């Protein structure tokens, strides 16, 4: 039993869907679960729809229409017969989405987000499942929400492992080709929940864990895990084999090629993770598994742009101690801030955060009531694993360093 995951980049157009078929033909498709994300940038496009809805913008209809048009073009490229069932199935999802916005009464942004954002995945898997059937790869479309059960912490739901295991053990047919959605789950009341942006890698790992799969392969637009993001660094090198620990560290610090939550369930059952190129399915890519790397450790570079550095000190020059720090952390948790680095001294505390859920204003307001606050927006956080002096120098060149922190294996540098 294998689990494959195809992300948005791999199915951004009809050509991508056809390529997915050729990957499955190259690798074989028996006893395989294929987890698929929304096509291309659909999730971002639905985020625009949700924003328009909450801001009562006239553009609400046209933004929904943009999403419909994008998928219709792909459908027309893939299916010659416009009376094919897929057109009705996709239309039914769009009708449901439009209906939701018409009838919704909830003012809760996170709830509304989770009830609507997942249509990208529901539609992409519907198109792909029909297309696979059309070209002879018979498959079973699953609604992932019947399998992955979570709490109702909308937009970053936590998996209820016991219930998920039970659902998967009793309802999943391992012997066929199954297609399902990444990113989604459902809560105790069967409302849709999501696992956090880019969460489809994690979905693949959840299934692999519960199915005791032999392996997970995530198909990417890069040859595997590289020692740096090729969008920002030249001459990035492929890491052929890395340990779970190294991959967890890289993902944790922001190497966005693997969603950070993916590795833990795999490590617990020692299920290998392959990161491979969907353009070269025969290449080995990267294998993440138990044990040591086969290559010597080279510096690995990770950059997170658009971060925020907040520095706090007490209003009365008193020490920043456990009590204030725990208060600061509960506010960071309340506003769903992702904490990248912290540094504290006697009377000050600095934290570099990722404002994923757009709550900065509220957080700052809250903090300013209790602390003297300075903040820098738009800073970059560079992390080097297995750093050398030369690699640090290179990183700091032409930049203003706002914060720097070294441990034995890792240096983190916040720059402007
Ligand atoms: P998906 O289509 O599955 O959502 P992503 O776009 O999230 O895939 O992940 C692939 C991207 O991750 C690559 O295009 C690359 O720019 C980026 N990336 C960041 N860090 C690394 C790294 N260390 N190695 C390879 N790719 C990386
Ligand atoms: N479609 C979702 C996103 O863009 C989940 C994923 O792609 O992994 O965040
Ligand atoms: Mg992605």
Domains of the chain, start order: 2-220 (3.40.1160.10), 300-415 (3.30.2130.10)
**139-151 mean pLDDT:** 98
What phi and psi, each to the nearest 5 degrees, are found at residue 279? Answer: -90, -20
Backbone angles phi, psi at 17, to 5 degrees: -65, -40
Categorize the per-residue pLDDT at 346 as very low, low, confident or very high, splitting at 50, 70 and 90: confident
CA–centroid distance, residue 124 to ligand 2 (Å): 12
Pocket test for ligand 2, best of 5, 7, 260 (most atoms within 8 A of CB): 7
Whole-number pLDDT of residue 223:
98
Structure confidence at residue 296 as a pLDDT band (50, 70, 90): confident
Q: At 181, which helix (H) or strand (E)?
A: strand 178-181
pLDDT of residue 59 exceeding 90: yes
Residue 13 tokens read as 């157009």
Ligand 1 geometric centre to CA of 229 (Å): 7
- The structure's pTM equals 0.93
| pLDDT of 297 | 83
6: annotated binding-site residue? yes
For a pocket test of ligand 1, which of 5, 42, 247, 256 has the largest count of ligand atoms closer than 8 A to its C-beta?
A: 256
The mean pLDDT value for 239-263 works out to: 95
pLDDT at 247: 95
- Using CB atoms within 10 Å of the CB of residue 306, give its burial: 0 to 12 exposed, 13 to 18 middle, 19+ buried: exposed
Mean pLDDT to the nearest integer, 258-277 = 97
Residues in a beta bridge with 159: 150
Q: What is the DSSP string of 79-133?
A: -S-TTSHHHHHHHHHHHHHHHHHHH-----HHHHHHHHTTHHHHHHHHHHHHHHH
Atom 5 of ligand 1, residue of closest alpha carbon: 257
Is any ligand 2 atom within 6 A of the Cβ of residue 38?
yes
Indicate the pLDDT class of residue 77, thresholds 50, 70 and 90.
very high
What pLDDT, on the 0 to 100 scale, is given for residue 318?
Answer: 87
Give me the chain's average pLDDT, please.
96
* Spatial separation of the C-alpha atoms in residues 208 and 31, rounded to whole Å: 12
Per-residue model confidence as pLDDT tens digits over 183-218:
999 999 999 999 999 999 999 999 999 999 999 999
Q: Single out the residue of 103, 120, 134, 108 nearest to residue 49, CA to CA.
A: 120
**Nearest C-alpha neighbor of 49 from the set 108, 101, 121:** 101
Nearest CA to ligand 2 atom 8: 198
For 79-128, what is each residue's pLDDT tens digit? Answer: 999 999 999 999 999 999 999 999 999 999 999 999 999 999 999 999 99
Kindly state the average pLDDT of the residues 255-280: 97
Rg over alpha carbons for the chain, rounded to the nearest Å, is: 23
Residue nearest to atom 4 of ligand 1 (CA): 7
CA separation for the pair 115, 192 (Å, rounded): 5
Give yes or no for residue 292 having a pLDDT over 80: no
Percent of the chain residues past pLDDT 70, beyond the cut: 100
């Amino acid at each position: 039993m294998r689990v494959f995951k195809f992300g948005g980049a791999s199915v951004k157009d009809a050509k991508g869907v056809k390529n997915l078929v050729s990957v499955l033909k190259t690798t074989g498709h028996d006893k395989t679960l294929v987890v698929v994300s929304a096509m291309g940038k659909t999730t971002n496009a639905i985020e625009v729809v949700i924003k328009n809805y909450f801001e009562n913008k006239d553009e609400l209809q046209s933004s929904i229409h943009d999403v419909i048009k994008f998928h219709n073009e792909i459908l027309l490229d893939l299916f010659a017969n416009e009376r094919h069932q897929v057109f009705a199935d996709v239309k039914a999802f769009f009708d449901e989405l439009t209906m939701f916005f018409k009838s919704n009464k909830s003012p809760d942004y996170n709830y509304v987000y989770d009830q609507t954002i997942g249509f990208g995945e529901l539609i992409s898997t519907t198109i792909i499942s029909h297309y696979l059937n059309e070209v002879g790869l018979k498959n079973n479309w699953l609604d992932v929400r019947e399998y992955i059960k979570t709490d109702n912490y909308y937009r970053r739901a936590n998996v209820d492992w016991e219930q998920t295991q039970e659902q998967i053990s009793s309802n999943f047919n391992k012997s066929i080709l199954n297609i399902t959605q990444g990113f989604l789950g459902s809560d105790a009341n069967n409302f849709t929940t999501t696992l956090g942006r880019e969460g489809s890698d994690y979905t693949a790992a959840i299934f692999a864990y519960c199915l005791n799969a032999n392996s997970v392969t995530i198909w990417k637009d890069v040859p595997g895990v590289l020692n740096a993001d090729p969008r920002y660094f030249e001459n990035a090198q492929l890491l052929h084999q890395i340990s779970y620990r190294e991959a967890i560290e890289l993902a944790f610090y922001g190497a966005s090629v693997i969603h950070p939550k993916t590795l833990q369930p795999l490590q617990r059952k020692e299920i290998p993770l392959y990161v491979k190129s969907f353009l070269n399915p025969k290449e080995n890519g990267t294998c993440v598994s138990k044990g040591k790397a086969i290559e010597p450790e080279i510096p690995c570079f990770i950059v997170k742009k658009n971060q925020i550095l907040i520095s706090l000190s007490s209003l009365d020059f008193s020490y920043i101690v456990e009590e204030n720090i725990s208060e600061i952390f509960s506010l960071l948790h309340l506003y769903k801030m992702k904490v990248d680095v912290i540094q504290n001294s006697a009377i000050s505390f600095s934290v570099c955060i990722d404002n994923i859920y757009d709550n900065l204003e509220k957080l700052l307001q809250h903090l300013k009531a209790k602390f003297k606050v300075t903040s820098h927006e738009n800073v970059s956080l560079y992390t080097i694993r297995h750093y050398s002096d030369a690699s640090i120098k290179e990183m700091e060149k032409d930049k203003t360093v706002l914060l720097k922190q070294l441990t034995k294996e890792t240096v983190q540098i916040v720059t402007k």
